[in-house]
Structure 1
């Protein structure tokens, strides 16, 4: 089974240290790990370090991977579409980047399957540049899924989606992790989504790892006050499920 941990990961932008010795405990395949924290906490930088596209100190440790260069798929926040490609072409291109450039029938099937799984099969012939922000996010997610990675890094993939699409996308990601043994690390601002879908939660604040554990262990009033500067509480709703209630800013 695939697993990932980090040891004292760091990163700088010029003279500014933006990630400081982040050591994530072992995260295993089949899990959804929500990475939460305020703006500029270092979430995107952490993902870019794990994906290997940003240099820095420390170590990212992978276990059980088939091919280290193809094991990780990373979806950044920015999904601006500038290429003159259709949705189908862009997702097919993402697949061929990891499967070789010779086109096979199963490549086309994989693209169709990824689009349909996210409910965007009807957009297959649309140009990327003509899509809404939410539609581009779903295409970006399809581009990751079609690669069939072992580790999926999603940087705020639901920020431009309406509530229906958010739940659809999160359900799909949750099912993929459970069914395929994929490890999913997902940066979220909506903490109720983290409470609903995440097996583990990592809180980043000020470029460091503030806490890590199950949602019940980590999403607490004390941690929310320290990391987010809010007065908030997690209470059970009428169905007995945890729900975040925010009372005030500190």
Structure 2
């Protein structure tokens, strides 16, 4: 009885029936969670930011979402169980051309990506993204047009050096203060899109000397190596002199 009730409660459209009868190879993949903490950790080291209000994406490169209710579901589970999936499937059946048109999607479909790791739904568009994947799979299509995107390219090396330098300063109790540094280099934009580039580094303040300097990532790494060498020399000297 439970199986019958569950089956009857599923959305019953041609798209769903085909997906259940012959699932695409990716249908069992889990929808990944957007890691906001990880993004905030590298955000100060963004070297390029791009935004467009009328972009096209490969819908099969959408890998996750910021919405906590859908994180961890498979794409097929989401197609069957999404909170507003029934309404969205009805709209897809009555107007499939909506997904094929170049016009800006309304309501807005919004995606974010960082360092080419795949798109994450960042606002409206979770249900429509899922529907588009199954619909396009059957049609042999890939591109979903008229969506909003934000993409970021970061200097991961700079972020890692900053983390290591700050940890070293804290662990050794050094009179230094390390902060992220970012300077805008350029901005290109017209109606509907924007690209900014930045120079990133590490601002190092010497609290004992009252000085500060902006270090490029490689310079900061050499500074970190220098601190490590000084610590090794101190330990060696203490062993020598007892």
- Bucket of the pairwise TM-score, normalised by the shorter protein: under 0.3
**Higher relative helix content:** 2
